[in-house]
């Protein structure tokens, strides 16, 4: 199997160290209900979107990803999502 030997828990913790606390809470709420590889994928996707926010959304350019708030996410527009999806396709 290609994923043998990958310490997903360590990689998840590494990613969560740079994310806001509410994201950490969200990921840890999965508990044992999801495979650790699935949690890893969720973490990576969330981290990538938060990076998009601080790198491509001017209103967040002065923030680190750990400073993104729930309110910041609540203010993401459909246009922001479309821009993110466009970047993913490149």
At 1 the pLDDT is 44
Q: Is residue 1 part of a domain?
A: no
Q: Is residue 3 part of a domain?
A: no
**pTM, full prediction:** 0.86
Q: Is residue 2 part of a domain?
A: no
Q: Is residue 20 part of a domain?
A: yes
Torsion (CA) 31, 70, 52, 34 in degrees, nearest 10: 10
**Which structural domain range is residue 74 located in?**
8-89
Render pLDDT for 32-78 as a digit per residue (tens, 0 to 9).
666 888 889 999 999 999 999 999 999 999 999 999 999 999 999 99
11: Cβ contacts below 8 Å, ≥ 6 apart: 40, 43
Q: Which residue has the tokens 């043998």?
A: 4
Number of domains in the chain: 1
Q: How far apart are CA 64 and CA 18, in angstroms?
A: 8
Q: Is residue 77 part of a domain?
A: yes
């Amino acid at each position: 199997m290609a994923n043998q030997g990958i310490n997903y828990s360590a990689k998840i913790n590494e990613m969560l160290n740079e994310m806001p606390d509410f994201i950490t809470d969200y990921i840890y709420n999965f508990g044992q209900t999801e495979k650790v590889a699935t949690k890893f994928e969720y973490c990576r996707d969330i981290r990538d979107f938060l990076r998009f926010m601080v790198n491509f959304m001017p209103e967040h350019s002065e923030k680190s990803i750990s400073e993104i708030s729930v309110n910041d996410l609540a203010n993401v527009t459909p246009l922001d999502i479309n821009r993110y999806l466009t970047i993913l396709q490149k």
